[in-house]
């Protein structure tokens, strides 16, 4: 079971911190060369930049500064994979998580949510697909959310953005399948990251505690829980899986 991604090249957007960081480390453990695309190399939770950590373990890695709403920067990140032999796996992980009364959401806040969570995924997938077609195929993994499966008060724009990612992925799977490219969604639930402990402090908050109590497996998730599912979707173990939504939430949504 080791080295499931030997010889593969992967790009992870939002790869410096949280779930993206865990995915990058797991991919590298299994033999992949990884390109980390993010606004900064330093993890938000502290510690060594992930590309340096991967390199210290003897694997190949690179960091590319990337704002996924800027197509030129996103294309440069995809191009960076060429130095390792060309892109095989694209993980569109970069995203933001915000909660606010729907009556108070501004136009700028809505546009920012859609630019990062939807536009970034669309053009990340488009640019990756162009490279993968040249190589004869690949795997695109899009990070949606349980909020892309069911609506939740106070998170209307976020739910809308993650629902868009889900349906976008299904359409991409239909269009790109004949070209040898698989496209799948991961829907994380309550995962403990800086985003859920700082940006929107769910852990420790009343709403977060209510969510925790409703999880059948009895705990919140860890970034590694999501990384292992991404590893499956990136590897040949999922060679006949496309257009799928894998829910990683401990049973919270029970889909």
Q: Which residues are catalytic?
A: 158
Name the residue among 225, 174, 187 with its Cα closest to residue 95: 187
Q: Which residues contact 136 (CB under 8 A, 6 or more apart)?
A: 180
Answer whether 173's CB lies under 8 Å from 140's CB.
no
CA 197, CA 177: separation in Å to the nearest integer?
Answer: 38
Task: Please state the separation of Cα 201 from the chain's center in Å.
Answer: 20
Closest C-alpha to 192, from 179, 183, 181, 201: 201
**Three-state SS at 188:** strand
How many angstroms separate the CA atoms of 155 and 196, rounded? 13
Comparing CA positions, the residue from 82, 98, 180 lying closest to residue 136 is 180
CB-count burial class (<10 Å; 0-12, 13-18, 19+) for 109: middle
């Amino acid at each position: 079971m080791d080295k499931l991604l030997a010889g593969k090249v992967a790009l992870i957007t939002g790869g410096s911190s949280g779930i993206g960081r865990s995915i990058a480390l797991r991919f590298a453990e299994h033999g992949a060369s990884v390109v980390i695309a993010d606004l900064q190399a330093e993890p938000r939770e502290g510690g060594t930049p992930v590309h340096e950590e991967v390199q210290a373990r003897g694997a190949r890695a690179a960091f590319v500064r990337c704002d996924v709403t800027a197509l030129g920067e996103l294309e440069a990140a995809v191009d960076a994979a060429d130095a390792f032999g060309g892109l095989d796996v694209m993980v569109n992980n970069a995203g933001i998580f915000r909660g606010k009364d729907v009556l108070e959401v501004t136009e700028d806040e809505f546009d920012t949510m859609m630019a990062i969570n939807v536009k970034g995924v669309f053009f990340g997938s488009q640019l990756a697909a162009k490279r993968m077609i040249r190589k004869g195929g690949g795997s695109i993994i899009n990070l949606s959310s349980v909020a892309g499966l069911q609506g939740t008060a106070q998170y209307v724009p976020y739910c809308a953005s993650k629902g868009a990612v889900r349906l976008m992925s299904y359409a991409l799977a239909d269009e790109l399948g004949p070209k040898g490219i698989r496209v799948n969604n991961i829907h994380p639930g309550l995962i403990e990251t800086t985003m859920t402990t700082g940006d929107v402090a769910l852990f420790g908050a009343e709403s977060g505690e209510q969510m925790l109590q409703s999880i059948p497996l009895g705990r919140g998730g860890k970034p590694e829980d999501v990384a292992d599912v991404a590893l499956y979707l990136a590897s040949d173990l999922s060679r006949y899986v496309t257009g799928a939504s894998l829910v990683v939430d401990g049973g919270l949504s029970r889909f």
